Homo-oligomer: A and B are copies of this chain.
């Protein structure tokens, strides 16, 4: 039986078009079925008279917009596309959920509707970054938890390592703590307290890493509190956007440059694609009971397709089941120590 992924059809800035097109791309590419969650009438008219049978619609009358405050929206909108989609996962109708809507609302709704995996005190959002070596690097948490305890970072390390292994096929991903120097003594109160906890785990722990290691391919899994992770993610997004804008303006300064650009265009396309976060598809929210992938509001159809495939793979590889097992083993070992 094909994996069923519920997709928030009202999430992106141009919803529901990218969601519908992304769903079509996904079902053609992988053995997956999609439940588009949103305003039924609108979705039915956009889908047309003879939709692909692998794409169905689940009605949700409300939409949480990008600029709504997460806490209030989650409380008041009980029939939002996020809530309905996550209920489908909780009730076993779907196995995974994808949303490119309001990140804060999606995380809060997932925690309420799905609940946490036993052993996880706080779920974490993991962002995937491209590196100079071509291998991805994941960093968690990037926004779910602003003030963290050392135990949270320990659990982020376990979850992130499992997710990396299951998703990117690296048997011994290197795990590091984001800090301001390599020595164990460097860092703030949180990282210094987390260091010995991570050292005890049976992970490929490489100690502290620095901001520049996010992109050099020297480490695969980086843990940090959600405040620092969110800042690092947004600094990166801001810099990429500035860099591409600058380069474009310099190139358009005269005709020789423009012609040169046309000849070297392929290089720029590859470059842009490589830096394009949408190509990665979305950030998994790890630690909730069910697969939940959160995409960027500016996602296009290809990004939605990738997010659906990422969700389907996480389901098929049983990522959550493995996280639950390994955390239980960790607690058992801890109780005998």
Q: Chain A interface (Cβ within 8 Å of chain B)? A: 69, 131-132, 143, 146-147, 178-180, 183, 187-189, 210-216, 224-228, 230-243, 245-247, 250-251, 253-254, 256-268, 270-271, 274-275
Q: CA separation between A267 and B252, bound complex, in Å?
A: 8
Main secondary structure of the interface of A (DSSP, over half): helix
Q: Are B238 and A212 in contact (CB under 8 A)?
A: yes
Beyond the given A216-B241, A239-B240, please list 9 additional residue pairs across the A-B interface where CB-CB is below 8 A. Answer: A146-B187, A211-B238, A212-B237, A215-B235, A215-B238, A236-B239, A243-B275, A254-B266, A261-B267
Q: CA separation between A76 and B143, bound complex, in Å?
A: 43
Option from B231, B250, B260 in Cβ contact (under 8 Å) with A263: B260
Q: Which residues of B contact A240 (CB under 8 A)?
A: 239, 243
Q: Are B266 and A257 in contact (CB under 8 A)?
A: yes
Instruction: Tell me the minimal C-beta distance from A240 to chain B in angstroms.
Output: 7
Q: Are B212 and A235 in contact (CB under 8 A)?
A: yes
Instruction: Tell me the minimal C-beta distance from A299 to chain B in angstroms.
Output: 17
Instruction: Tell me the minimal C-beta distance from A78 to chain B in angstroms.
Output: 24
Q: CA separation between A249 and B147, bound complex, in Å?
A: 40
Q: Are B232 and A231 in contact (CB under 8 A)?
A: yes
Q: Are A243 and B243 in contact (CB under 8 A)?
A: yes
Option from B189, B235, B254 in Cβ contact (under 8 Å) with A232: B235
Q: Which residues of B contact A270 (CB under 8 A)?
A: 250
* Nearest B residue (CB) for A186: B146
Q: CA separation between A188 and B225, bound complex, in Å?
A: 10
Q: CA separation between A179 and B231, bound complex, in Å?
A: 7
Q: CA separation between A247 and B215, bound complex, in Å?
A: 14
Q: Which residues of B contact A232 (CB under 8 A)?
A: 211, 231-232, 235
Task: Give the residue among A227, A233, A236 with the most B Cβ atoms within 10 A.
Answer: A227
* Nearest B residue (CB) for A216: B238
Q: Which residues of B contact A268 (CB under 8 A)?
A: 247, 250
Instruction: Tell me the minimal C-beta distance from A179 to chain B in angstroms.
Output: 8
Q: Are B227 and A228 in contact (CB under 8 A)?
A: yes
Instruction: Tell me the minimal C-beta distance from A319 to chain B in angstroms.
Output: 26
Q: CA separation between A254 and B265, bound complex, in Å?
A: 12
Q: Are A211 and B188 in contact (CB under 8 A)?
A: no
Instruction: Tell me the minimal C-beta distance from A279 to chain B in angstroms.
Output: 14
- List, sorted by A's number, 12 A–B pairs whose CB atoms are closer than 8 Å: A132-B241, A147-B189, A210-B234, A211-B235, A211-B237, A213-B238, A215-B238, A235-B235, A243-B275, A257-B266, A260-B267, A264-B264
Q: Which residues of B contact A253 (CB under 8 A)?
A: 266-267
* Nearest B residue (CB) for A263: B260
Instruction: Tell me the minimal C-beta distance from A178 to chain B in angstroms.
Output: 6
Instruction: Tell me the minimal C-beta distance from A190 to chain B in angstroms.
Output: 9
Q: Are A231 and B260 in contact (CB under 8 A)?
A: no
